[in-house]
Amino acid sequence: MSSNIVLKRGLNIPIKGAADRKVLRKVEPGLVAVNPTVFKGLVPRLLVREGDPVAAGSPVLMDKDRPGILLTSPVSGTVKEIVRGEKRRLLAVLIESDGKGTAVDFGACNPAALSREEAAALLLKSGLWGGIISRPYGVVADPEAAPKAIFISAFSTAPLAPDTEFTLGDDAEAVQAGVRLLSRLTDGGVHLCLNAATYSASPFHKIEGAIVHTVSGPHPAGNVGVQISHISPIRRGETVWTVPVQIVAAMGRLVLSGKLSLMRKIALTGPAAEEPAYIEALPGTPVADLVKPEGNVRIIDGDVLSGTILGADGFTGLFTDQITLIREGREKEYFGWAKPFRPKLFSSSPCYFSWLTPRKKYDMDTNLHGGPRAFVETKCFSDVTPMDIFPIYLIKACLAGEIEKMEKFGIYEVLPEDLALCDYVDPSKNDIQAIIASGIDLMIKEMA
């Protein structure tokens, strides 16, 4: 049932700072954080105290509502500090690594021989269950639920996204084992989406036990949400799970070696990155160990479209495979909008002349390039959303908080990241992703 999906709508943003295919260095773990804030729908409860010894794979936090879901330590060492924010919200558990590399042994096994319960139990106690994202709404998957299918996008089209063929090229065996493990969790099968352009050379194209699809087109063709909507759109009441390919590899390493091993290549990208390339590090590594940018630079966990802002004292999370650095654009520009040419800026709109230089890469910054306005030009939204929905109607339904309309216009099929390009292209400078996120929060509240 494999298929080739050709997408036409979308936009590749020509931003400078793609990572070279080389590993600069490996960050030896010192202080490592277990970071619960990156898991949507998870309320963390502490399982350790300051001073407790932990091994790689021992539980540190669990979900309050679904106690089976554990978050585990990526290193061995001692719990150094429990960081809380406003209203005592748990932000991170800091673990001082002892460098010994002691790890909990979960037992190497043949994933194909496991039952559904065994497979789920292994993922739950190893702390990798949190890497399974459930749609609609993009929350941590419910271990009791029966998903329609599991989707994995083996590539990303986001701006400056890491090249999975480089980061996981040597790990194809682990990805294979991870796919086999995941296929135990659903009767609907595991769908693996590959980049049509590099399909034949991809280290993943021989993977068995998954339904392989090839996808071509500009961003967001690599977004798993867009792929799902073309393969098997989500109906009301249905659930599908998605797992980032990075986590699939970690699941594979878990069943192959019996140990939790989260070391990965993180792409250091962006126009403000001094030497864009890869760094090997654990999730939970302090930002300061990865980058030390000078000047007024924004550090983003993820890509420039839907990543989150990390402070200079922040920590990466389980999903981090890219750090993007861009300048804060606080300069004012005289007669900016009235100048016939603004060669330093990119615009996807023919109102400017970027189309004359299709190969140019731009040094982009965080300037909004205008002020917030009411929606005027709305065709641009559907031009960058290759899904069978009317983005502007979905956005307006979210703004109005109308559950029934949000359902009809496809709220089950999208996460904010799938409409991230609408943020980018909107001449009225609305925060579309924030609007969609508030709509999703409302759905969670009302449908609970």
Of residues 111 through 170, those in contact with another protein by CB under 8 A are 159
Pattern 274-293, another protein, x by CB under 8 A:
--------------------
User: What part of residues 33-92 is at the interface with another protein (CB under 8 A)?
Assistant: none
To another protein, the closest distance from the beta carbon of 354 in angstroms equals 8
Q: Pick from 237, 295, 311, 371 the residue near another protein by CB under 8 A.
A: 371
Three-class SS state of 220: coil
Residues 341, 353 contacting (CB under 8 angstroms) = yes
Q: Pick from 42, 71, 305, 443 the residue near another protein by CB under 8 A.
A: 305
To another protein, the closest distance from the beta carbon of 161 in angstroms equals 14
**Using only C-alpha atoms, what is the Rg of the chain?**
22
Per CB under 8 A, the segment of 276-284, 285-293, 313-321, 385-393 that binds another protein is 385-393
* Interaction of residue 332 with another protein, rule CB under 8 A: yes
Cβ-based nearer residue to another protein, 41 or 329: 329
Cβ-based nearer residue to another protein, 309 or 400: 309
To another protein, the closest distance from the beta carbon of 365 in angstroms equals 7
Per CB under 8 A, the segment of 115-123, 135-143, 259-267, 386-394 that binds another protein is 386-394
Q: Pick from 21, 82, 390, 403 the residue near another protein by CB under 8 A.
A: 390
Q: Contacts with another protein: how many residues (CB under 8 A)?
A: 74
* Interaction of residue 333 with another protein, rule CB under 8 A: yes
* Interaction of residue 209 with another protein, rule CB under 8 A: no
Three-class SS state of 74: coil
Lookup: tokens for 78:
């001692």
* Interaction of residue 377 with another protein, rule CB under 8 A: yes
Q: How many residues are present in the chain?
A: 448
Q: Pick from 52, 263, 346, 361 the residue near another protein by CB under 8 A.
A: 346
* Interaction of residue 13 with another protein, rule CB under 8 A: yes
* Interaction of residue 228 with another protein, rule CB under 8 A: no
Cβ-based nearer residue to another protein, 173 or 333: 333
To another protein, the closest distance from the beta carbon of 253 in angstroms equals 32
User: What part of residues 409-438 is at the interface with another protein (CB under 8 A)?
Assistant: 409-410, 416, 420-421, 423-429, 431-434
Q: Pick from 294, 313, 331, 404 the residue near another protein by CB under 8 A.
A: 331
* Interaction of residue 320 with another protein, rule CB under 8 A: no
| Cα distance between residue 312 and residue 296, in whole Å | 11
Q: Pick from 200, 335, 358, 404 the residue near another protein by CB under 8 A.
A: 335
Cβ-based nearer residue to another protein, 321 or 365: 365
CA 404 to each of CA 3, 389, 409, 439, 443: distance values in angstroms, whole numbers, following the listed order: 32, 15, 9, 12, 10
| Cα distance between residue 387 and residue 381, in whole Å | 11
To another protein, the closest distance from the beta carbon of 301 in angstroms equals 11
To another protein, the closest distance from the beta carbon of 421 in angstroms equals 8
Q: Which of 288, 254, 280 is nearest to 129 (CA)?
A: 254
CA angle 338, 343, 344 (to 5 degrees): 105
**What element of type H or E holds 291?**
none
Where do runs of H (alpha helix) occur along 127-237? 164-167, 172-183, 224-231
Q: Pick from 42, 69, 71, 364 the residue near another protein by CB under 8 A.
A: 364
Q: Please report the beta strands in 73-140, taking only residues with DSSP state E, as ranges in sequence order.
A: 77-84, 90-97, 133-135, 139-140
To another protein, the closest distance from the beta carbon of 238 in angstroms equals 9
Cβ-based nearer residue to another protein, 102 or 367: 367
Per CB under 8 A, the segment of 16-24, 84-92, 229-237, 272-280 that binds another protein is 229-237
| Cα distance between residue 270 and residue 94, in whole Å | 28
Residue 337 is classified by DSSP as: G
CA 435 to each of CA 309, 347, 391, 417, 431: distance values in angstroms, whole numbers, following the listed order: 18, 23, 11, 12, 6
Lookup: tokens for 267:
């792409």
| Cα distance between residue 319 and residue 321, in whole Å | 6
User: What part of residues 233-272 is at the interface with another protein (CB under 8 A)?
Assistant: 233, 235
Residues 372, 429 contacting (CB under 8 angstroms) = yes
Q: Pick from 179, 326, 406, 443 the residue near another protein by CB under 8 A.
A: 326
For 301, residues 6+ apart whose C-beta sits below 8 A from its C-beta are 307, 308, 309, 310, 314, 316, 317, 320, 322, 323
Lookup: tokens for 278:
């890869």
Residues 160, 323 contacting (CB under 8 angstroms) = no
* Interaction of residue 348 with another protein, rule CB under 8 A: yes
